[in-house]
Structure 1
Amino acid sequence: MFGRLRAWTRRHSKLVDALTVSPLALLSLITVEAFSRAGSLGARQAGVPGLLLLSAALIVPLTWRRDHPREVFAVVAAVSFVQWLLDIVVLPANIAVLVALYGVASRCTLRWALAAGAVAEFGLLLAILRESPDTGGRAWLSSSAFIVAVWIAGIYANTRRRYVEGLVERAERAEWERDQQARIAAAAERARIARELHDVVAHNVSVMVVQADGAGYALDGDPEQARRALQAISATGRQALAEMRRLVGVLRQDAGSPAEEYAPQPGVAQLGDLIRQVRDSGLPTEFTVSGTAQTLPEGEQLAVYRIVQEALTNTLKHGGPGTRAWVEMTYGRGEIELRISDDGRGASAPRMVGGHGLIGMRERAAMYGGSVEAAPRAGGGFRVVVRIPVGVAA
């Protein structure tokens, strides 16, 4: 309820400001009426219309004190000064000076607040010196307490409002940064899953296509070879399903259900199995390791495995019949170097430079500060050279 009330007051600020000064306007009307009936000095000086006009000139500008506090205070102070020059009696409407002073202190800088307070004190001094010149000093000191109290209240309201605005701004900025971080994390996770799925699907499907073509050719002439090819297709398909399940299965877990056990991500130790799978698919591949073996982080091992997998997948797809491949892994000082080369016709295939495979390899290497060079070999074929620093965090 209070929240709706505050929202309504913000939408109708002018109406609220007019309602807050309406008691002062009513008090001024009653006072002017009393002056008129009693025939007092004020009524004789300016007449009832003059007193009503003076009261209106002091009260009406207060409606705009929220949006234009300095201008409203200047108008009210000027009208009060004219009233003093014309020697018109003090009216209840002169309280508008204090209201306008509060508006300046609560919404302007300290410099303007000090200036408005000095003007209000000077006006009070002029009025007291005219009314009671003998005791003007003591009366001015006692009456200044009201002006100082209003001024301090305005300064406190200003400080409080700025503090709340600062809190709201920091909360909004923190919420915006949180949303940005969430979007960045989601985009990075989508990219990672897409990269993993591409590597898994492209490699395994390429092996299955090669085996299926071989089984088709050998079906009539060599049924045993065709049977072995079909068995390789079945094993490769199961492996692909298992890897895809490992990647996206966690996203489908029911809330509160125990997490399913998944196999660890492949690494350097599984490169031998990968090479054997490629050989079984019909691509003769030599795998050599040189240098002193080093322990690599799991993420870096996965990057090495996927890069080798993607490079051999490209050879399977684009190398052509009779292609041979070589995989060389060298442990150096502070880095690991991979050389995946073949003697096929993949260098002339236009898709080699336009697909997502090379992009994925470069992204994986770049995550660990590495680089990828992919280019045709001088004697034919294609070569991919990868250098990754050892032990660099992603």
Structure 2
Amino acid sequence: MVGRIWEWWRGHAPLVDAGFLLPVVLLTAIQTSDLTHDVPVAGYAALSVGLLLPLVWRRRWPVPTFCIVALVSLVQWCFHVTLIPANFVVLVGLYTVTAYTTPWRGLAALGTAQLGALMEVLQVWTGGWKDIEGPLLFFAVVNFGVWILGLHIRTRREYLRSVEDRAARLERERENELRMARAGERSRIARELHDVVAHNVSVMVVQADGASYTLDTDPARARQALTAISETGRTALGEMRRLLGVLRADDDVSVYAPQPGLAQLGDLVDQVRHAGLPVDVQASGEPPSLAEGRQLTIYRVVQEALTNTLKHGGPEATARVRLGYGPDEVRVEISDDGRGAAASDDGRGHGLPGMRERVGVYGGEVRAGPRVGGGFEVVARIPVREDAVMSGKGVR
């Protein structure tokens, strides 16, 4: 609600300024009844309008507005008309020029206002220095105070503008870093999927060579090799479909070794334990026979979560890894009892965005954040409907 009012306020500045002038207009109308015969009502009204009306555009054209007000005040002085309530706008113009333009223009407006005050004092008080000393000092203090206020508002506005610009620049840099992190992670995924597909193709070539050698002597074995080629080819095609949507930034494909999977999770856990982090691993359900790409995703999720615990959990932290194998999905939960939300974070880590990118390739999702009561938790769901063939492999 407050934000909407502020936006409306900023979008209707002339209307707001006109509203601020209403008290001066009312005071001017009241003083009209006390005019002497030396000041015609029409002239008094024209003088008031000439002083008040330009202030409606004071924010858009501060210097011309102040010049018009000063010129009308000069005409008023030439006709020996004493100060009226509408002359208050001189201070408003002084503030506007100081707050919305350069410091030198603000000083010029201060000098103009002080000169006008001196001319008015000399015209009205003619009894000598002792008579004009008090009024002149009063006007000087008022003009200088308004100038200081405008200078303060100008400095504050510039500071807020610099803070907003810096925040916008940091936000753009953060977005660029995240975009680069996603691009780097996509490149990494592309390389790893390439390794998986290359491995499958190598298996197909070996099976095809074996089938060609045994086609005449052992037809049953040749048929078994052809079946293996068919299954491996389907798996490779599935990985290639996902590979088409991933941009590669590095063409280093000199190594064609398969990437880690479920069978290597035990080695990963042992490595983390040797690094000083106690890890408890439990698995439930019957592990399905997963494609190497999904196994690699599960491996990387566990690896990234345990690495974050090592970095941010603290010296006394412990971790738990829970693998839930179901007919439709694999649920991976990694939690710790470390610092959690109190852990220091420079905001430059890209592990979680990369983790979400990996799991998103297979239509899954990742939820990560501090746990209630302390610690940190990462929960990932990886759908496995496409290759949910039950198998006896797992992690113990």
Same fold by TM-score greater than 0.5: yes
Amino acid at match of 1:86: F
Aligned partners of 2:41, 2:26: CA distance in 1, in Å? 15
Among 244, 247, 257, the alignment partner of 2:293 is 244
Amino acid at match of 1:94: N
Amino acid at match of 1:87: H
Asked if structure 2 preserves the Cα contact closer than 8 Å seen for 1:69 and 1:107, the reply is: yes
Please give the per-residue CA displacement for 1:280-318, whole angstroms capped at 9, x wherever unaligned: xxxxxxxxxxxxxxxxxxxxxxxxxxxxxxxxxxxxxxx
Amino acid at match of 2:182: A
Asked if structure 1 preserves the Cα contact closer than 8 Å seen for 2:211 and 2:225, the reply is: yes
Which residue does the alignment assign to 1:22?
22
Which residue does the alignment assign to 1:113?
106
Which residue does the alignment assign to 1:86?
79
Aligned CA-pair RMSD? 3.1
Which residue does the alignment assign to 2:190?
194
TM-score (norm 2): 0.58
Mapping for residues 319-338 of structure 1, pairs under 5 Å: none
1:222 aligns with 2:231: no
Mapping for residues 331-370 of structure 1, pairs under 5 Å: none
Amino acid at match of 2:3: G
1:76 aligns with 2:69: yes
Mapping for residues 158-307 of structure 1, pairs under 5 Å: 158-212=154-208, 214-215=210-211, 218-223=214-219, 226=222, 229=225, 243-249=292-298, 258=321
Please give the per-residue CA displacement for 1:212-263, whole angstroms capped at 9, x wherever unaligned: 354156233235863885798699899785642343225788x9983669xx
**SS class of match (1:197):** helix
Percent identity of paired positions between Structure 1 and Structure 2:
45
Among 123, 127, 130, the alignment partner of 2:120 is 127
Asked if structure 1 preserves the Cα contact closer than 8 Å seen for 2:114 and 2:139, the reply is: no
Which residue does the alignment assign to 2:348?
none
Amino acid at match of 1:110: P
Which is greater in Rg? 1
Which residue does the alignment assign to 1:378?
none
Amino acid at match of 2:60: D
Aligned partners of 1:5, 1:18: CA distance in 2, in Å? 17
Which residue does the alignment assign to 2:268?
none
Asked if structure 2 preserves the Cα contact closer than 8 Å seen for 1:208 and 1:233, the reply is: yes
Aligned partners of 1:80, 1:144: CA distance in 2, in Å? 17
Aligned partners of 1:6, 1:246: CA distance in 2, in Å? 53
Aligned partners of 1:6, 1:218: CA distance in 2, in Å? 83
Aligned partners of 2:231, 2:3: CA distance in 1, in Å? 65
**SS class of match (2:60):** coil
Aligned partners of 2:222, 2:114: CA distance in 1, in Å? 106
**SS class of match (1:111):** helix
Counterparts in 2 of 1:44 and 1:182: CA distance versus 1, 3 Å: same
1:50 aligns with 2:46: no
Which residue does the alignment assign to 1:10?
10
Gaps of 5+ in 1: 262-394
Aligned partners of 1:21, 1:50: CA distance in 2, in Å? 20
**SS class of match (1:258):** strand
Amino acid at match of 1:7: E
Asked if structure 2 preserves the Cα contact closer than 8 Å seen for 1:193 and 1:247, the reply is: no
Asked if structure 1 preserves the Cα contact closer than 8 Å seen for 2:69 and 2:89, the reply is: yes
Counterparts in 2 of 1:96 and 1:235: CA distance versus 1, 3 Å: closer
Higher relative contact order (CA 8 A, sep 6+): 2
